[in-house]
Amino acid sequence: MTKLKDIAREAGVSITTVSNVIHNKKNRVSPELVAKIQEIIGRENYVPSMTARTLANSASPIIGIINHLVPRHVGGFMADPFHNTFMGSIEDRIREKGYFLMVRTVEDTRGLEAICRNWNLAGMIFTGLFRDEFFECVRGIGVPYVLIDSYIGLPEVCNVGLEDQKGGYMATRYLLERGHRVIAFTSPFIRKNGVVERRLEGYKQALREFDVPFDQTLVFEQEISISEGVRLGYQLSQKKQITGIFASADILAAGIMAGLREMGVNVPGDKSIVGFDDNYLCQITYPRLTTIHQDAEEKGIIATEMMIAQLSGKPIRERHIILPVRLVERESVREIPEAF
């Protein structure tokens, strides 16, 4: 097995110089020497010891993606295609910087403190936090962190969000413009000051513009998964008055469409549906799903840049970034001409 001293001997440099190149401290090493050392490392498939790196730098090489919303069904967090794309984007970039990725669901403050104590995390990226006891624990631990899709709104907090209300508005307006007047809103359980609440506000905004009264009985909340969506599809198949459905996540929309089809309900002939996310499920549903597009990969890129900036002590120009959304039209919505 190739060791650090073997690379140093072949390159004709000190072990310290090789270590600096490995840890991206290249300011005192010539570009030619960096290239030579990297060529040897690649050829010999050298992998630096995580323990040695941690001891040498007095810092952890691990960045954690922490999910605080505990799913009630198996594989809930990891099964969502949005999270897969988002986490893949982060892993690609932190790997380039020499870090490792940990993905963990943490239920309470004790669990968070245990992870930080046992793994000495360099930084943490959280999805969907709220301003509560858990968030106060995050602030108090002293580890750099970045929030994803949070409406906490503190100016010092790094957060990458989305035009959630605009997305809900666009999806609902699209259905209304095509003659639908009884439109269901389907989502995970709604929490105050959260992403889903903002998408619901967009739904209500569009209804108001078309003078359609908001009806609480048209709001359907449940766990977000294909199987839960299928069961909701069964339920919605019995509600003949509903002609339009806005699903606040594509994974939920795909399940609803499958459930409707099993019950003999045609999409879009009998019921039209618009999703949210624009992940790969939209291309394999039948019919293909009209949805609100968000760039999950870009979300991961920006979150990683914010994290690396904190770890390297560089200034962060903007700590609160909101990414745009747009509607992608496919085949899951029909017009109702008699409404005009």
Is 83 strand, coil or helix?
A: helix
Query: pLDDT tens digits for 20-72?
Result: 787 666 677 888 888 888 888 888 777 665 545 554 445 578 899 988 875 55
Q: What pLDDT, on a 0 to 100 scale, did the predictor assign at position 113? A: 87
String of DSSP letters for 294-305 = --HHHHHHHHHH
**Which residues 6+ apart lie within 8 Å of 35 measured at CB?**
none
Element (H, E) at 220: strand 219-221
Is 289 in contact with 189 (CB distance < 8 Å)? no
Which domains are delineated in the chain? 62-162+296-324 (3.40.50.2300), 164-294+327-339 (3.40.50.2300)
Q: What predicted TM-score, i.e. pTM, was given to this entire model?
A: 0.81
CB atoms within 10 A of CB 9: 13
CA distance linking residue 1 with residue 20, whole number of Å: 21
β-partners of residue 305 are none
Reported for 137-141, long-range contacts at CB under 8 A and 24+ positions apart, including other chains, are 137/109, 137/112, 137/113, 138/112, 141/112, 141/113, 141/116
Q: What pLDDT, on a 0 to 100 scale, did the predictor assign at position 125? A: 94
Task: Single out the residue of 177, 176, 148, 170 nearest to residue 161, CA to CA.
Answer: 148
Paired sense of beta strands 145-148 and 123-127, if any = parallel
Q: What mean pLDDT value characterizes the chain?
A: 88
Q: What pLDDT, on a 0 to 100 scale, did the predictor assign at position 55? A: 43
Chain centroid offset of residue 312 CA: 24
Q: What pLDDT, on a 0 to 100 scale, did the predictor assign at position 200? A: 98
Total number of residues shown for the chain = 340
Low-confidence residues in the chain, pLDDT < 50:
51, 55-57, 339-340
CA distance linking residue 167 with residue 19, whole number of Å: 48
Q: What pLDDT, on a 0 to 100 scale, did the predictor assign at position 56? A: 47
